[in-house]
Amino acid sequence: MTTYEEFIQQNEDRDGVRLTWNVWPSSRIEASRLVVPLACLYQPLKERPDLPPIQYEPVLCTRSNCRAILNPLCQVDYRAKLWVCNFCFQRNPFPPQYAAISEQHQPAELIPGFSTIEYTITRAPTMPPVFIFLVDTCMDEDELDALKDSLQMSLP
Protein backbone atom coordinates (compact mmCIF):
# COMPACT_ATOMS: atom_id res chain seq x y z
CA MET A 1 0.00 0.00 0.00
CA THR A 2 1.60 3.22 -1.13
CA THR A 3 -1.06 5.92 -1.00
CA TYR A 4 -3.86 7.00 1.29
CA GLU A 5 -6.29 6.31 -1.55
CA GLU A 6 -5.07 2.72 -1.72
CA PHE A 7 -5.47 2.44 2.07
CA ILE A 8 -9.09 3.61 1.83
CA GLN A 9 -9.78 1.28 -1.10
CA GLN A 10 -8.28 -1.67 0.76
CA ASN A 11 -10.51 -1.00 3.78
CA GLU A 12 -13.58 -0.66 1.57
CA ASP A 13 -12.78 -3.94 -0.17
CA ARG A 14 -12.27 -5.68 3.19
CA ASP A 15 -15.35 -4.38 5.00
CA GLY A 16 -17.83 -3.60 2.23
CA VAL A 17 -18.31 -0.12 3.69
CA ARG A 18 -17.85 3.17 1.89
CA LEU A 19 -18.33 6.51 3.60
CA THR A 20 -18.67 9.88 1.95
CA TRP A 21 -15.99 11.23 4.30
CA ASN A 22 -12.90 9.67 5.81
CA VAL A 23 -13.11 11.77 8.97
CA TRP A 24 -16.07 12.10 11.33
CA PRO A 25 -17.14 15.73 11.95
CA SER A 26 -16.00 16.75 15.43
CA SER A 27 -18.99 18.98 16.24
CA ARG A 28 -22.56 19.73 15.16
CA ILE A 29 -21.37 22.99 13.60
CA GLU A 30 -18.71 21.17 11.61
CA ALA A 31 -21.30 18.55 10.57
CA SER A 32 -23.72 21.27 9.44
CA ARG A 33 -21.04 22.74 7.19
CA LEU A 34 -20.42 19.54 5.23
CA VAL A 35 -20.95 20.14 1.54
CA VAL A 36 -21.69 16.45 1.01
CA PRO A 37 -23.74 14.85 3.81
CA LEU A 38 -22.16 12.17 5.94
CA ALA A 39 -23.43 8.91 4.53
CA CYS A 40 -22.45 5.27 4.33
CA LEU A 41 -22.87 2.63 1.67
CA TYR A 42 -22.89 -0.75 3.35
CA GLN A 43 -22.70 -4.12 1.64
CA PRO A 44 -24.80 -6.43 3.81
CA LEU A 45 -23.97 -10.13 3.94
CA LYS A 46 -20.46 -9.53 2.61
CA GLU A 47 -18.51 -12.77 2.74
CA ARG A 48 -15.68 -12.56 5.29
CA PRO A 49 -14.22 -16.08 5.47
CA ASP A 50 -11.35 -14.72 7.58
CA LEU A 51 -13.74 -13.60 10.32
CA PRO A 52 -15.94 -16.27 11.88
CA PRO A 53 -19.14 -15.06 13.60
CA ILE A 54 -18.77 -14.13 17.25
CA GLN A 55 -20.93 -16.28 19.53
CA TYR A 56 -21.72 -13.70 22.20
CA GLU A 57 -23.58 -10.43 22.61
CA PRO A 58 -21.97 -7.16 21.49
CA VAL A 59 -20.85 -4.76 24.22
CA LEU A 60 -22.88 -1.55 23.99
CA CYS A 61 -22.12 2.00 25.05
CA THR A 62 -24.02 2.73 28.26
CA ARG A 63 -25.19 6.18 27.17
CA SER A 64 -28.89 5.64 26.43
CA ASN A 65 -28.98 7.84 23.34
CA CYS A 66 -25.82 6.28 21.84
CA ARG A 67 -25.67 2.47 22.27
CA ALA A 68 -22.68 2.21 19.90
CA ILE A 69 -20.84 -1.11 19.90
CA LEU A 70 -17.32 -1.70 21.24
CA ASN A 71 -14.95 -1.67 18.27
CA PRO A 72 -11.22 -1.49 17.42
CA LEU A 73 -11.34 2.33 17.27
CA CYS A 74 -12.39 2.73 20.92
CA GLN A 75 -9.78 3.79 23.46
CA VAL A 76 -9.29 1.17 26.15
CA ASP A 77 -7.88 1.48 29.67
CA TYR A 78 -6.88 -2.09 30.42
CA ARG A 79 -5.93 -1.39 34.05
CA ALA A 80 -9.20 0.35 34.92
CA LYS A 81 -11.16 -2.08 32.67
CA LEU A 82 -12.83 0.83 30.86
CA TRP A 83 -13.44 1.69 27.24
CA VAL A 84 -14.25 5.08 25.74
CA CYS A 85 -16.97 5.22 23.12
CA ASN A 86 -15.56 6.72 19.93
CA PHE A 87 -18.93 8.25 19.04
CA CYS A 88 -19.97 10.01 22.27
CA PHE A 89 -16.79 9.74 24.44
CA GLN A 90 -18.72 8.00 27.23
CA ARG A 91 -16.44 6.02 29.57
CA ASN A 92 -17.89 2.52 29.86
CA PRO A 93 -16.92 -0.29 32.22
CA PHE A 94 -16.31 -3.67 30.62
CA PRO A 95 -18.84 -6.34 31.57
CA PRO A 96 -17.69 -8.91 34.16
CA GLN A 97 -16.90 -11.54 31.51
CA TYR A 98 -14.14 -9.20 30.20
CA ALA A 99 -12.29 -9.11 33.56
CA ALA A 100 -9.28 -10.99 32.14
CA ILE A 101 -8.63 -8.66 29.19
CA SER A 102 -5.23 -7.08 28.72
CA GLU A 103 -3.22 -5.65 25.85
CA GLN A 104 -1.98 -9.19 25.18
CA HIS A 105 -5.39 -10.83 25.69
CA GLN A 106 -7.96 -8.83 23.71
CA PRO A 107 -11.48 -9.79 22.72
CA ALA A 108 -12.11 -10.06 18.98
CA GLU A 109 -13.97 -6.76 18.82
CA LEU A 110 -10.78 -4.86 19.80
CA ILE A 111 -8.45 -6.52 17.30
CA PRO A 112 -7.84 -4.06 14.43
CA GLY A 113 -8.39 -6.70 11.72
CA PHE A 114 -11.88 -7.34 13.10
CA SER A 115 -13.26 -4.09 11.76
CA THR A 116 -16.45 -5.87 10.74
CA ILE A 117 -17.96 -8.42 13.09
CA GLU A 118 -20.95 -10.65 12.64
CA TYR A 119 -22.56 -11.54 15.96
CA THR A 120 -24.58 -14.71 16.36
CA ILE A 121 -26.96 -13.91 19.20
CA THR A 122 -28.46 -16.94 20.88
CA ARG A 123 -31.14 -15.25 22.97
CA ALA A 124 -34.62 -14.83 21.51
CA PRO A 125 -35.02 -11.54 19.63
CA THR A 126 -37.21 -8.94 21.28
CA MET A 127 -38.60 -7.80 17.94
CA PRO A 128 -39.11 -9.37 14.51
CA PRO A 129 -36.21 -9.14 12.06
CA VAL A 130 -36.02 -6.10 9.82
CA PHE A 131 -35.16 -6.52 6.17
CA ILE A 132 -34.03 -3.56 4.13
CA PHE A 133 -34.24 -3.82 0.37
CA LEU A 134 -32.18 -1.17 -1.35
CA VAL A 135 -31.80 -0.63 -5.06
CA ASP A 136 -29.17 1.62 -6.53
CA THR A 137 -31.07 3.38 -9.27
CA CYS A 138 -27.99 4.97 -10.83
CA MET A 139 -28.20 2.84 -13.95
CA ASP A 140 -29.30 3.04 -17.56
CA GLU A 141 -33.02 3.54 -18.12
CA ASP A 142 -33.23 0.18 -19.89
CA GLU A 143 -31.67 -1.59 -16.91
CA LEU A 144 -34.00 0.22 -14.51
CA ASP A 145 -37.05 -0.72 -16.59
CA ALA A 146 -35.92 -4.36 -16.63
CA LEU A 147 -35.52 -4.24 -12.86
CA LYS A 148 -38.99 -2.75 -12.41
CA ASP A 149 -40.46 -5.45 -14.66
CA SER A 150 -38.72 -8.23 -12.74
CA LEU A 151 -39.96 -6.83 -9.41
CA GLN A 152 -43.56 -6.58 -10.64
CA MET A 153 -43.41 -10.18 -11.85
CA SER A 154 -42.15 -11.42 -8.49
CA LEU A 155 -44.67 -9.54 -6.35
CA PRO A 156 -47.89 -11.38 -5.48
Q: Which of 8, 17, 60, 68 binds Zn ion (CB under 5 A)?
A: 68
DSSP assignment of 43-86 equals: -TT---TTSPPB-SPPPBPSSTTT--B--TTSEEETTTTEEE-T
Q: Is the dihedral of CA 8, 12, 18, 23 positive or negative?
A: negative
Q: Which one of 7-15, 34-42, 53-61, 140-148 is the stretch in contact with Zn ion (CB under 5 A)?
A: 53-61
The SS3 assignment for 2 reads coil
Q: How far apart are CA 156 and CA 152, in angstroms?
A: 8
Minimum distance, C-beta of residue 90 to Zn ion, in the bound complex (Å): 4
Site residues (CB under 5 A) for Zn ion, limited to 78-117: 85, 87-88, 90
Nearer to Zn ion, 8 or 66 (CB): 66
Minimum distance, C-beta of residue 91 to Zn ion, in the bound complex (Å): 10
**Closest by Cα among 76, 120, 112 to 94:** 76
Q: Which of 8, 51, 54, 66 binds Zn ion (CB under 5 A)?
A: 66
Is there binding between residue 19 and Zn ion (CB under 5 A)? no
Binding site for Zn ion (CB under 5 A): 61, 63, 66, 68, 85, 87-88, 90
